[in-house]
Structure 1
Amino acid sequence: MSGDGIDKRALFLISYGLYVVSSRMGDKLNGQVANAVMQVTSDPMVLACCLHKENLTTQCIKDSRLFTISVLEEDTPMTFIGNFGFKSGRDIEKFSSCACEFTSREVPYSPDYSLAVIEAEVIDVKEVFTHVLFLGEVKYAKVLKEGKPMTYSYYHEIKKGKSPKHAPTFGLDTGKVR
């Protein structure tokens, strides 16, 4: 436990999934790995997605007001996660190394290693310190294949993955709950 009374290991007990959040800004396509995604309501269907305010994907979503969520499967290789999670779209074209498809509203996503894709239209945006919380109404959703969705716990424990610098959970990698 840290000196401020916060045992950061407790936060690892909150369940997360692992997703690729994608959007576009004009002709620029971008996506990133995210774990801070959740369904907020069912009627209408609304998702919440939280991304670091400095990330290119955040800028793309602010510009287009649209985003996709791809639900990653457990078999997703670390090279795919690394492409979307540890590289900047300012330096590389992330969709050049994988299949890229588009929703009817021209929002990009990769079907590679994705169990499902969900498209949402932004209905609200909240600044939360270092991050931006997007609330999006679901406009399209499709199951692409059957499989087990990757949890953030699986990513850390089985795949031995780390949290990138701009992840909401960065800094929590310091201890495991036993």
Structure 2
Amino acid sequence: MLPIATQHGLDLITYGIYIVTTSWQGKDNGLIANAAFQVTAQPPRLAVCINKASLTHELVRHSRHFAVLPLAQSADLPFIGRFGFRTGRTFDKLAGLEFTRGVTGCPLVKAHTLGFIEAEVEQTLDVDTHTLFVGSVRAEASFQIKDPTPMTYAYYHSVIKGKTPLGATHSAH
């Protein structure tokens, strides 16, 4: 039996904080994710893990594409909450935000993001409550912003004092 610790082992794994967007049949949506990572360099592939209950999951499953936008450390809690604490089923997360469309049609939000990586889904892996979507990178770019420091999950919790929303990849402790 493992000893009981005050900090869980999963809390020791570092993460970034990302907006994942997609679009299908005229419906745009996005959510906050901390499980996005490069899978291979050649050819370039990216993976995201998304809760099956989310609208973004449904749209990625149908559209077969997604964009990952790394958040800047300067993003505030109201902006993060727009994508992380509300559902796209009842709230238009992109309303009032400036964005462009990428080559896959995904909305690319420039506010509080460092850039984007767009991918087309090649493979999926069912992981109970979530799906891991693995995609081939179709386009990527970085934005010119004043503070290009990426937000980490640790910064989000310790400095911004953000909470982990229900349904997130990483469970709250």
Query: Shorter chain as normaliser: what TM range?
Result: over 0.9
SS at match of 2:160: coil
Residue 152 of structure 2 is aligned to residue 151 of structure 1: yes
Distance in 2 separating the partners of 1:6 and 1:29: 44
Distance in 1 separating the partners of 2:115 and 2:75: 13
If the length of structure 2 is used for normalisation, what is the TM-score? Answer: 0.93
Residues 14 and 104 of structure 1: CA distance in aligned 2, closer, same or farther (over 3 Å): same
Amino acid at match of 2:165: P
Residues 6 and 134 of structure 1: CA distance in aligned 2, closer, same or farther (over 3 Å): farther
* Conservation of the 8 A alpha-carbon contact between 1:30 and 1:93: yes
Residue correspondence of structure 1 range 89-104 to structure 2 within 5 A: 89-104=88-103
* Conservation of the 8 A alpha-carbon contact between 1:47 and 1:136: yes
Q: Shift of residue 63 of structure 1? A: 0.8
Distance in 2 separating the partners of 1:130 and 1:104: 29
SS at match of 2:94: helix
Residue correspondence of structure 1 range 62-81 to structure 2 within 5 A: 62-81=61-80
**Cα RMSD, aligned residues only:** 1.5
Distance in 2 separating the partners of 1:90 and 1:166: 15
Gaps of 5+ in 1: none
Residue by residue, what CA displacement relative to the aligned partner does 1:120-141 show, whole Å, maximum 9, x if unpaired?
Answer: 0100011101101000111100
Aligned to 1:31: 30
SS at match of 1:47: strand
Distance in 1 separating the partners of 2:101 and 2:135: 18
* Conservation of the 8 A alpha-carbon contact between 2:103 and 2:138: no
Amino acid at match of 1:21: V
Distance in 2 separating the partners of 1:4 and 1:127: 28
More divergent stretch after superposition (61-70 vs 92-101): 92-101
Amino acid at match of 1:70: L
* Conservation of the 8 A alpha-carbon contact between 1:114 and 1:145: no
SS at match of 2:114: strand
Residue 146 of structure 2 is aligned to residue 140 of structure 1: no
SS at match of 1:97: coil
Aligned residues: 170
Residues 25 and 4 of structure 1: CA distance in aligned 2, closer, same or farther (over 3 Å): farther
SS at match of 2:79: helix
* Conservation of the 8 A alpha-carbon contact between 2:104 and 2:120: no
Distance in 1 separating the partners of 2:162 and 2:40: 30
If the length of structure 1 is used for normalisation, what is the TM-score? Answer: 0.91
Gaps of 5+ in 2: none
Distance in 2 separating the partners of 1:4 and 1:65: 41
Distance in 2 separating the partners of 1:62 and 1:97: 26
Identity %: 37
More divergent stretch after superposition (79-88 vs 141-150): 141-150
Residue correspondence of structure 1 range 1-178 to structure 2 within 5 A: 9-146=8-145, 147-171=148-172, 174=173
